[in-house]
Amino acid sequence: MKKIITLLILTFAAITINAQVKLDDFGRIVLNTYLPDNIALPAEAKNLLITKLNQITSNNGMGGSQANPRFIITANVNVGTKDIIAGPPQMIAQNIDITLFIGDAVTNTIFSNTTLSIKGVGTNENKAFIEAFKTINPKNKDVLAFLEEGKTKIINYYSTNCDFIIKDAQTLVKQEKYDEAIYQLSLVPDVCQECYFKCLDTLTSIYQKKIDVDCNVKLNKAKMTWAATQNIDAAIIVGDILSTINPIAMCQDEVNALISKIDAKLKADEKARWEFKMKKYQDEVEDKREQLRIAEESGKRADEFEENQARRNFELDKIRVNSYRAVAVEQARNQPQNVTYNNINWR
């Protein structure tokens, strides 16, 4: 019985992830596509331009999401010449300069820009724009250089502001806003190595504090539930509560003591019902333990190959980081949009 419940409390709380925010949205540089509402483009042409900007970022591993709305890619469109070509059918030919921008939407700062000269011909203005935008190549050398410059500036932002980012996160911890602190630190891309590892160290202590506080709250709730009504129905409720406690929380001894107390109180027929209730949790725990086993397996032959130990540590760190990012995903999904693009009209 005790073995089953011990397995039960090893289960991580399940996290529902919004399709627009994923674990891998964290730890990388993200650019969100934005076009001003007042841009002088027909609706269909505007939608195509948005698609092209999305292609530029996604093809280069910088596709945006709701995880971090701070950094954007946007565009300004200028029609150089517009000629009417006699028909039938009558056609419109436009020479267009489109300037792409990468920047910080919070500080309204441009990081990089490039201008593409394109041409489109169509039976109306909308189709002329569409034909022109179709010629934009996400792998154009000028576009790639523009992206690289923007990426470098974003890395520089994190490098120069790292201490402030960590300090702000620690302030949030003092306010017991653990999820928000984890979210802010998880946004630092791993390409910003020095800042990334500083934040990772801070994340470890914040995450531990978060799960310890959470454990104490849930443990007290479980104790009160059991103290109020010491029967199988209360035990089932307590089991549901304890199953959401993180396995590395510091209050595990107290959790085990409560489990032993409940186990001693239940009758044989009640234990059967209890064990049946716990079976689904046990299956989930086995999945988690298999992940850890795979990580451990990579280091078993460290005596033959020294690099295997580093590989093992890397796999274990990956599991640890994913725990932090899972918290950040939930925070990103639930928090109100705190970045507005109303003043972004770069030219």
Rounded (5°) CA angle 22-25-26: 115
Instruction: Identify the CATH number of the domain in which residue 133 sits.
Output: 3.30.160
Does 245 fall in a domain? yes
* In a domain? residue 308: yes
Query: Residue 217 domain-assigned?
Result: yes
Q: Are strands 71-85 and 91-104 parallel, antiparallel or unpaired?
A: antiparallel
Domain shared by 123 and 262, yes or no: no
Is 133 in the same domain as 224? no
Return d(Cα 247, Cα 285) in angstroms, integer. Answer: 10
Pairing of strands 32-33, 71-85: parallel
User: Side-chain half-sphere of 5: how many Cα atoms within 13 Å?
Assistant: 23
The confidence score (pLDDT) of residue 9 equals 36
Do 166 and 239 fall within a single domain?
yes
Domain limits for position 229: 2-13+162-334
- pLDDT at residue 334, rounded to an integer: 78
- pLDDT at position 96 is 94
Supply the pLDDT for residue 301. Answer: 47
Q: Are residues 220 and 130 in the same domain?
A: no
144 domain residue, yes or no: no
Judge whether 129 lies within some domain.
Answer: yes
- pTM here is 0.76
**Residue 22 near residue 272, CB atoms below 8 Å:** no
Q: Could you tell me which of 346, 309, 334, 285 has the C-alpha nearest to residue 67?
A: 334
Res 14: pLDDT: 31
Please tell me the predicted confidence (pLDDT) of residue 249. Answer: 83
Asked whether residue 146 is domain-assigned, the answer is no
Contacts of 309 (CB under 8 A, 6+ apart): 299, 302
- Per-residue pLDDT tens listing for the chain (347 residues): 444 333 333 333 333 333 367 776 777 888 999 998 888 899 999 999 999 999 999 998 888 767 788 899 999 999 999 898 887 888 999 999 999 999 999 889 999 999 999 999 999 999 999 999 999 999 999 999 999 999 999 999 999 999 999 999 999 999 999 999 999 999 999 889 899 989 988 998 999 999 999 999 999 999 999 999 888 889 889 988 988 888 778 888 898 889 888 888 887 777 777 677 666 656 655 666 666 566 556 545 444 444 554 444 445 566 678 888 888 888 888 776 656 676 787 88
Which two structure tokens, joined as six digits, stand for 141? 């050398």
Indicate whether 194 and 125 sit together in one domain: no
